[in-house]
A and B are shown apart, each in its own frame.
Chain A
Amino acid sequence: MQEIWQALVQAVNLIVSLDAEVIQISLRSLYISAASIVIAALFCVPVGALIHFHDFRGKRVTINVIQTFYSLPTVVVGLLVFLFISRSGPLGGLELLFTPAAIIIGQVILIMPVLTGMTIGALSGVDKSIRDTAISSGASSAQAMKAILFEARFAVVGALILGFGRAISEVGAALMLGGNIRGYTRVLTTAISLETQRGDIVLSLALGIILISIAMVVSVIMNILLQRY
C-alpha cells in the first residue's frame, strides 16, 4: 500500500512539473480522440437524424444492427482497419499504417455505432408535440429537425462525451494501427500499457491520472456549455 501511495505522489509530481514526455503523450491523445469525435459527430449525428426522421423498410433492423455494434471490440476494429491499410491491403498505397491518421480512422469506426445509435435514441426521446409545435409554428422540415435536435441536445452531447470517452480510453486499435511509436503515435493508453509492462508504475499512474482528468474536464466543459444554451 505504501508503494502505491509513493507512486501516486511521484505521479502527481510528474504532472505538476510538466514532464515533457507526459505532456507530449497527453496532447497527442487529446488531439487524436478529439479529431475522432469531431469526424464521427459530423457523420453520425446527421445520419442518426436521417434514420430517426424517415420511415423506411428495415428501419428497426438497422437500429438493432447499430446497437449490436455498440460492443464492437477495439482489437477487431484494429484488425479490420489493419487489413485495409497494411501494405498488401486495398488502401496500402496511402501509407497510413502506424500513423496518427490510422488511429483516428480506427477510433472513428469504433465510436460510430454508439454515436449514431445514441443520436437516434436522443431524438426518439423528444416528445412528438415538439415536432408538431415547430411545424405548426411555420418551420420547414429542416427547421423542425433543428428544433428537435436542439431539444435533444443534452442527450446528444451525452453521446458525444461517451464517444470521446470510448475513443480516448481504447488501447487495442491505437496499438495495432499506431504501433506505439515513441514521439509519433504513442498515446496515453498505449503508453500506460507499455510502461506497466516495463515496470515504470509511476509513469503509468501519472498517465492514468491524466487520462481520467481529461475525460472529466471534457465532460465538465460540455455541461457548462450546455447550461448556457
Chain B
Amino acid sequence: MAFLQTVDLEQRAGAAVLLNRVNLSVEKGEIFAVIGPTGAGKTTLLRLINLLDRPYGGDIYFDGEKITDPSCNAVRVRRRMSMVFQKPAVFNNSVYENVAYPLKLRGGHGKDARSGVYDLLDTIGLGGYAKRKAKTLSGGEAQRVALARAVVTQPDLLLLDEPTANLDPGTVKMIEELVVRFNRDRGLTVIMSTHDMQQAQRVAGRVGVLMKGELVQVGSPDDIFYSPDSARIAGFVGMRNLLKGHVIMNEKGIAVMDVNGREIEAVSDLPAGSAVDIYIRPEDVVLSRAASAGSARNDLRCTIRSIVPNGPLCTIVTDCGFPLEATVTGRSAVELGLVQGQEVYASFKATAVRILPSMPA
C-alpha cells in the first residue's frame, strides 16, 4: 500500500459532486502535483486528506492506517502532516510566534525548538523578522511564514494548496526551491495542488490531473504534457493544436491520417478507418521558408494568419487547411522575416503527434 492512498474517495456539497471516486496513490518521499482547472476539486481533495472535512464516501489510508475510520484520532493524524493554504493565514502576533505555533501545540517548545525556529526563519529568508507583526508582511512573506510553520514540526506529509497563486515570479521561484529543498533534505512527502502546469513540471516527480472531481490521468510530467489521455486534458495542459481526423492507412506503426484533406503521419497502431483526436504541441512545430530537408515526416505548406507576441516567444497561427499553431522565439520570427499572409512550411516529427481514438465531445 502506498504511503498515502485514497480509495473511491467522494465528496459532495448538497447535490453537487465535488469529488467522484478518486483513487490516488502517493509514495513516501515524492512530490506529487495535483493539477486541474479552478473548481476541479483540488482543495477539496487536500482538505479531506488533512482531515479538515469528512468525506461523503470512500477511504483514505495514511502510512497504512485508515484515517477516515471514525475511531481514528484525527488530532494525532494531523500532527503527522501539515497544510499550506492558497490564501496565507497568519495569526495576529509575531512572525516567531506564528512559526512556533505548531510546536507549542505539541508542548515541545524548548531551547532546541526555539533555535530550530530561528534557523527555519533564516532558511526562508526572514531571519531578521522574528519579532515583526506577521500581519504586516507582504503576501509572499506571509506565504513563506506559512510554509515554515508547516514544516517546523518535521511532518511526514506536506500538503500545499496552490501555494504560489497570486504571488510574484521571484517569490514563486523561492517557494518552489524551498519545497524541493525540504523534500530533498528531509525526505518530506509533498502533495501540491496547482493550476500552473509549468510549476508541476518544475517541481513534481509525478502529476495527477483532476477534472470535474475525477482523477483522469496520473503519470510523469512528460506523460501528462506530451501524451495527454483525452482532448480535455490536452486542452488543459496547453496543447493548442487539437485536431480531428481519421486514419487512412497504417504501415509498420506509422499511421497516415486525413485532417481536412491534408495528410499527417504519426506513430500509432490505430488501424485504417479509426476516427482520431490529434494533438501537436506548438513548440514541436518548426517553421521554415522552404520545404524541410530534415527528418520530419510532416512538412505542410501553409499561410501565416497571425503573429502573436508572447514574452520572448511568438505564437504563429497558420492555415494548413486546418489551423496549426507554432511557437518560435521572437528572434527567430525576425530572422525568418515572418509576416502575416506569408507562405511557409510547417514541419513536425511523427513522434510529436499524439493521437487517440476519437472521444465523443
Contact = CB atoms under 8 A, between A and B. Distances in A.
Given A133-B85, A135-B78, A138-B78, A151 B105 contact: no
Contacts of B83: 132, 136
Contact of B89 (A132, A150, A229): A132
A135 B101 contact: no
A197 interface: no
B89 A137 contact: no
B244 interface: no
B52 A150 contact: no
A136 B158 CA distance: 11
A115 to B, nearest CB: 22
A207 to B, nearest CB: 39
Contacts of A151: 91-92
B75 interface: yes
Interface residues of B, number: 21
A137 B105 contact: yes
Interface string A115-147: 000000000000101101111111110010001
A170 B85 CA distance: 47
A130 B52 contact: no
B101 A137 contact: yes
Contact of A137 (B87, B92, B93, B102): B102
Contact of A132 (B75, B85, B93): B85
Contact of B153 (A135, A138, A139, A147): A138
B91 A147 contact: yes
B108 to A, nearest CB: 11
A133 B105 contact: no
Contacts of A135: 52, 78
A134 B91 CA distance: 9
B50 A136 contact: yes
Nearest to A140: B75
Which of B85, B89, B150 lies at the interface centre, i.e. has the most chain A CB atoms within 10 A of its CB? B89
A141 to B, nearest CB: 8
A139 B103 CA distance: 10
B105 A127 contact: no
A136 B52 CA distance: 7
B212 interface: no
Interface residues of A, number: 17
A138 B109 CA distance: 14
A132 B102 contact: no
A150 B85 CA distance: 20
Nearest to B83: A136
B79 interface: yes
A173 B90 CA distance: 44
Nearest to A129: B89
Given A135-B52, A136-B82, A138-B153, A150 B75 contact: no
B106 interface: yes
B149 interface: yes
A51 B149 CA distance: 30
B85 A137 contact: no
B298 to A, nearest CB: 51
Contacts of B91: 130, 133, 147, 150-151
A13 B6 CA distance: 78
B52 A137 contact: no
A137 B82 contact: yes
Given A135-B52, A137-B149, A151-B92, A129 B85 contact: yes
A136 B78 contact: yes
A140 B150 CA distance: 16
B195 to A, nearest CB: 19
A154 to B, nearest CB: 8
A157 to B, nearest CB: 13
A139 to B, nearest CB: 5
Interface in B52-87: 52, 75, 78-79, 82-83, 85, 87
Sort A-B residue pairs by CB-CB distance and give the 9 closest, nearest first: A129-B89, A138-B79, A137-B102, A136-B83, A133-B89, A138-B105, A140-B75, A139-B105, A138-B78
Interface of B: 50, 52, 75, 78-79, 82-83, 85, 87, 89, 91-93, 101-102, 105-106, 146, 149-150, 153
23 contacts: A127-B89, A132-B52, A132-B89, A133-B85, A133-B146, A133-B149, A136-B50, A136-B52, A136-B85, A137-B82, A137-B101, A137-B102, A137-B149, A138-B75, A138-B79, A138-B82, A138-B102, A138-B153, A139-B75, A139-B105, A150-B93, A151-B92, A229-B93
Interface of A: 127, 129-130, 132-140, 143, 147, 150-151, 229
